[in-house]
Amino acid sequence: MLAVRELLGSRLKFGLIALAIGLVVSLTMLMSAMSEGLVTGMTGAKRSLEADVLVFQGDTALSLERSMLTDADLATISAADGVASSYAVGHLIVTVRGPDGPFDAHIFGLGAEFQQLPVTDGNGGELGSGDAIVDGTAASEGIAVGDSLRLTPLPRELRVVAFTEARRYIMAPAVYVELETWRALRAASLLADGGAAGGERESASAQALAGSASIAAVTLQAGVTPDDLAARLGDRFEVATPEEASLAGNGMGVMVLAVNGIQLVSLLIGAMVIGVFFYITTLHKSAQIAAIKALGASNAYLYRQLLLQITVLVTVAAVLGVALALGAGRGMPPAMAFDPNPGRWALSLLAVYFTAYAGSLFSLRSILLIDPATALDSAEH
């Protein structure tokens, strides 16, 4: 076949262009994995909550840090029409004194559904008072199963019974405890703020106990939509799916948009590299193309040969690019936001093929404009 013979006859030239395309593919894969890793690292703990919708305090812009629900709020939510089940979720920011130094962590108190946490090391299941399941990235801070997490400025410790995965929040490991443990920690954190004393301590304690949870995780009855529940609960609450809530706040929308923009630019660069290369190659082969046309080859035949060359080159480049991206990801430290998603990588590869074929339209135009008689006459002179 003409296209394959040309590839084999010019290995160095086509090998270099395959390397260039492979680097573009690698950049695209890295941007995709880092975009997914950024979302997981920033919101994995919130996005992965077992629920159809999350219910926040009203006027908090779906902010886990600002939302606070009382016992009465939780009762209202669980009794609402269309709610099949619900459980409370608490959130608290703490600092942990680890063996390698202090690091930030986010404590999540769960009222139920501990089985949603995939255990990678240790024993999961229901937690006792003071027990904790910790995201595996805490291991890079010197934490191991069986260790005690010393919290500061709280005079409290938690016992690590297991590690889980993909459960970070704002790039810090999540620490899961049962709800009563979270309430005790939250009360202690409020009492510690500002060194409150006397009546102020009692007031802070009462405020802590009144806020039963940060949000409610809700499973809806069949046929009920998030909008239905939002309408029934009214303006006192905000309702969103875990996916929607994960992209709200902390600048997530802007960050994902920026990374996706870089990925789009890399795809456009790939299309230009492929398109310009084959366009120049086509111009240099005008005489050969004219000769083949003079022998009866159609424009369609020549374009099919071009597409075959592009397909072979992009396939080789895709294998090379994926290997480079995986190698680069493996060399990254555990705290880096790198989370290759097979589905997104497949879409990225399809986009590379699409942009490559789109770039071939430059060469198609040249093929259509080559006149056998004119080109051959030019070659003779």
User: Based on the domain organization, do 63 and 16 belong to the same domain?
Assistant: no
User: Based on the domain organization, do 189 and 301 belong to the same domain?
Assistant: no
Residue 240 has a pLDDT of 95
> Which residue range forms the structural domain that includes residue 114?
53-240
Neighbouring-strand partners of residue 150? 97, 157
Q: What's the distance, Cα to Cα, between the start and end of the chain in Å?
A: 30
User: Based on the domain organization, do 236 and 265 belong to the same domain?
Assistant: no
How far apart, in whole angstroms, are the C-alpha atoms of residue 348 and residue 133? Answer: 35
364 and 276 in contact (C-beta within 8 Å)?
A: no
* Residue 260 domain flag: yes
Query: What is the pTM (predicted TM-score) of this model?
Result: 0.74
User: Based on the domain organization, do 201 and 163 belong to the same domain?
Assistant: yes
Residue 231 has a pLDDT of 95
Residue 24 has a pLDDT of 81
User: Based on the domain organization, do 310 and 219 belong to the same domain?
Assistant: no
How far apart, in whole angstroms, are the C-alpha atoms of residue 138 and residue 161? Answer: 13
User: Based on the domain organization, do 185 and 321 belong to the same domain?
Assistant: no
Residue 216 has a pLDDT of 96
- Please, what is the average pLDDT of the chain? 83
Residue 150 has a pLDDT of 92
User: Based on the domain organization, do 194 and 321 belong to the same domain?
Assistant: no
Nearest by Cα to 325 from 67, 36, 51: 36
In the chain, count H helices and then E strands.
13, 13
Residue indicated by tokens 């209202």: 76
User: Based on the domain organization, do 68 and 209 belong to the same domain?
Assistant: yes
pLDDT at 378 over 90: no
Chain segment 77-87, per-residue pLDDT in tens: 999 999 999 99
Number of structural domains in the chain? 2
Catalogue the long-range contacts made by 349-354 (C-beta closer than 8 Å, 24 or more residues apart).
349/25, 349/318, 349/322, 351/28, 351/267, 352/21, 352/24, 352/25, 352/28, 352/267, 352/270, 352/314, 352/318, 353/311, 353/314
Mean pLDDT of 23-52: 84
The percentage of residues in the chain with a pLDDT greater than 70, rounded to a whole number, is: 88
User: Based on the domain organization, do 99 and 224 belong to the same domain?
Assistant: yes
Residues in the chain: 381
User: Based on the domain organization, do 118 and 265 belong to the same domain?
Assistant: no
User: Based on the domain organization, do 219 and 83 belong to the same domain?
Assistant: yes
Q: Among 183, 209, 240, where does a domain finish?
A: 240
Chain segment 219-256, per-residue pLDDT in tens: 999 999 999 999 999 999 999 999 899 888 667 777 77
Q: Among 240, 270, 300, where does a domain finish?
A: 240
> Residue 357 has which token pair?
């074929």
Query: How does residue 210 score in pLDDT terms, banded at 50, 70 and 90?
Result: low
User: Based on the domain organization, do 149 and 220 belong to the same domain?
Assistant: yes
Q: Among 192, 216, 240, where does a domain finish?
A: 240
* Residue 246 domain flag: no
Total Cβ atoms within 10 A of residue 126: 10
Chain segment 112-140, per-residue pLDDT in tens: 889 999 999 998 878 999 999 999 999 98
Residue 204 has a pLDDT of 52
> Residue 233 has which token pair?
């609960």
> Residue 76 has which token pair?
């209202």
Provide the CA 85 distance to its chain's centre, in angstroms: 28
* Residue 48 domain flag: no
* Residue 247 domain flag: no
Chain segment 310-364, per-residue pLDDT in tens: 888 889 988 998 999 999 888 877 666 777 878 878 888 888 888 778 877 877 8
The percentage of residues in the chain with a pLDDT greater than 90, rounded to a whole number, is: 36
